Amino acid sequence: MLVVSHLEEIFSKHLPPAAIPNCISIWKDQPFHFKVTSSRKTKLGDFRYKKNQKFQTITLNSDLNPYQFLLTYIHEVAHLHAFQKFGFSINPHGKEWKSTFQQLLFPFLKEDFFPIDILIPLKNHMRNPKASSAADLFLMKEMSKYDLNNTVTDQVFLSDLKPGNRFIISGRKFEKAETRRTRVICIEIHSGKKFLIALMAKVIPA
């Protein structure tokens, strides 16, 4: 189990400074194993429940900007609190989780913790939070302005391209096809194979 000093060290590297005391207080209220992992393409963080463990585990990606890290931290802690309060038969992103998420994040919905350009779409998002914040394009676009590796100026979001437009990602060329919720069917030019790529993926128009 983490000790507070270790948690403070982790948070000092990843969270907005003003949010650290509150996030530690949340952890103290219902402690859990907490790990920062390498980047995962399919998720920003996760909550893992094991019946034989006294303390459950939450992990977050290391490459999240401070505001995305804070939002994802509260998102995952809300899973823990909701399951502990309502039982493990509830829908993971159902009404119990939504209300818990809203209650936990409410004290952070201030300019002390989020810049105003994120705060406006975030407040709107929290009226009915989705299973993934990545599904909220407006929020994610504002959030991405603060990405840690935001240095490539010729990149755009895949969501900004029109069907039929071609683009390059990870050195491979694709053509954008049909959009399915938070992902897009894209055809690799070289092989003709179809891939699902996140709407919020940053790509280089070709």
Query: CA-CA distance, 60 to 165, in Å (whole number)?
Result: 33
Residue 164 sits in the same domain as residue 129: no
Residue 122 sits in the same domain as residue 184: no
pLDDT higher than threshold 60 for residue 4: yes
Residue 60 sits in the same domain as residue 13: yes
- Please name the residues in contact with 122: beta carbons below 8 A apart, sequence gap of 6 or more: 71, 109, 114, 139
Q: For residue range 68-85, list pLDDT tens digits in order.
A: 999 999 999 999 999 999
In a domain, 150, yes or no: no
Residue 150 pLDDT: 65
Structural domain range at position 35: 4-144
In a domain, 173, yes or no: yes
Q: For residue range 98-135, list pLDDT tens digits in order.
A: 999 999 999 999 999 999 999 999 999 999 998 888 77
Please report, for the domain that includes residue 163, its CATH number: 2.30.30.30
Residue 1 pLDDT: 61
User: Looking up tokens 């039982």, which residue turns up?
Assistant: 87
Query: CA-CA distance, 169 to 200, in Å (whole number)?
Result: 12
Q: How far is CA 198 from the centre of its chain?
A: 13
pTM exceeds cut of 0.85: no
Answer whether 108's CB lies under 8 Å from 22's CB.
Answer: yes
Residue 152 pLDDT: 56
Structural domains of the chain, count: 2
Residue 52 sits in the same domain as residue 102: yes
Residue 137 sits in the same domain as residue 108: yes
